[in-house]
């Protein structure tokens, strides 16, 4: 069943879950000072947790040493105010190594990304994610997407592990998610956590909320924190005014943002990074194999950020 600290802190977050980008300097090396500034600003803006070195943070592009340094920096900036969760991945041996590095760096938990490249049977996925959970004392959230898609029975088995506390869904199959949630609930586990992990998750969060999934990742929070906070407050208000606000934000900001994101490969990361730069923090470009967004897309994003200021009643977005 679900274990204590991380799950308890994430269950009812005070704000969006913050997935910071990783900063690089002019020489291409990780810019830890800039990364610290980015993480600190996100926490001060109302981020309820820091998910460091995950998809938005280009986990795939980081060496183990860079990963450890970034997680340690995020932990130090958080200072215990909010939990820090680190992305881990690749094959089982490397995922275990990254999980141990995250533990050494002081993380509160890990987000276990799909295993690298291979398509595995359900039993193999169980062994992989169980090995990650067995490797440290950290709580683990498993990430369903791409080549790691679980049957409800598999999630029931994973949820029995005392340190596997949740499932982040990047698949978007609501029928499958309903089956998973129902099966885990029927197994007696009422505390297992579920996260909407689709890109620009706010866009689909109303559908996930209907399934009882209240947690979601917010990449937009990196560059439009006031919009992301306004969405989070409206989503949790339970009032007609909140519902009206949701429609306003979805139609006025998130719909055009999703269309822009879908206009280029890798924009779910590179466009977010461009947004952070537009807000005045030079976090550098993305690393290969990702590429920078088209200048026209960056111009459109700048216009969207300006519109976001109007949606948040004249304040900075």
Whether the CB-CB separation of 163 and 133 falls below 8 Å is answered with yes
Which residue among 24, 90, 116, 143 is the active-site one?
Answer: 143
Pair of tokens at residue 92:
């089982």
Coil vs helix vs strand at 171: coil
Tell me which residue of 70, 8, 66, 21 sits closest to 274, measured CA to CA: 21
For the CA atoms of 185, 190, 192, 194, the dihedral, rounded to the nearest 10 degrees, stands at: 70
Which residue among 24, 168, 208, 273 is the active-site one?
Answer: 168
168 a catalytic residue: yes
Answer positive or negative: Cα dihedral of 73, 194, 169, 311. negative
List alpha helices for the chain, DSSP H.
5-11, 32-45, 64-78, 92-104, 122-135, 152-159, 174-186, 205-210, 225-235, 240-249, 255-261, 267-278, 295-311
Pair of tokens at residue 263:
């206009």
Q: Kindly report the number of other CB atoms within 10 A of residue 103's CB atom.
A: 18
Whether the CB-CB separation of 205 and 296 falls below 8 Å is answered with no
For the CA atoms of 169, 174, 180, 185, the dihedral, rounded to the nearest 10 degrees, stands at: 110
| Angle of CA points 49, 51, 56, to nearest 5° | 135
Angle between helices 92-104 and 122-135 (to 10 degrees): 30
Instruction: Kindly list the catalytic residues.
Output: 143, 168
């Amino acid at each position: 069943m679900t274990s204590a600290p991380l799950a308890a802190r994430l269950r009812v977050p005070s704000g969006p879950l913050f997935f910071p980008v990783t900063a690089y300097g002019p020489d291409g090396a990780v810019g830890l000072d800039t990364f610290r500034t980015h993480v600190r600003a996100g926490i001060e803006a109302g981020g309820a947790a820091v998910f460091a070195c995950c998809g938005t943070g280009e986990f795939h592009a980081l060496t183990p040493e860079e990963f450890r340094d970034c997680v340690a920096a995020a932990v130090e900036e958080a200072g215990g105010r909010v939990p820090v969760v680190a992305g881990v991945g690749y094959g089982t041996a490397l995922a275990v190594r990254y999980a141990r590095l995250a533990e050494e760096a002081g993380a509160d938990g890990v987000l276990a990304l799909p295993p690298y490249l291979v398509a595995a049977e359900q039993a193999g996925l169980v062994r992989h994610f169980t090995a990650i959970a067995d490797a440290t004392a950290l709580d683990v959230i498993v990430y369903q997407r791409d080549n790691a898609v679980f049957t409800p029975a598999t999630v029931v088995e994973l949820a029995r592990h005392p340190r596997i506390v949740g499932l982040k869904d990047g698949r978007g199959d609501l029928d499958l998610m309903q089956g998973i949630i129902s099966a885990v609930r029927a197994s007696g586990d009422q505390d297992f956590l579920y996260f909407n992990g689709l890109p620009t998750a706010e866009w689909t969060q109303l559908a996930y909320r209907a399934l009882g999934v209240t947690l979601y990742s917010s990449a937009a929070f990196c560059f439009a924190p006031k919009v992301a906070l306004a969405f989070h407050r409206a989503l949790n208000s339970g009032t007609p005014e909140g519902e009206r606000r949701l429609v306003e934000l979805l139609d006025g900001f998130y719909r055009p943002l999703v269309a822009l994101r879908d206009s280029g490969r890798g924009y779910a990361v590179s466009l977010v990074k461009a947004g952070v730069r537009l807000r005045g923090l030079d976090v550098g470009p993305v690393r290969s194999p990702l590429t920078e967004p088209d200048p026209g897309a960056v111009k459109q994003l700048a216009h969207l950020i300006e519109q976001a200021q109007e949606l948040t009643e004249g304040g900075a977005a």
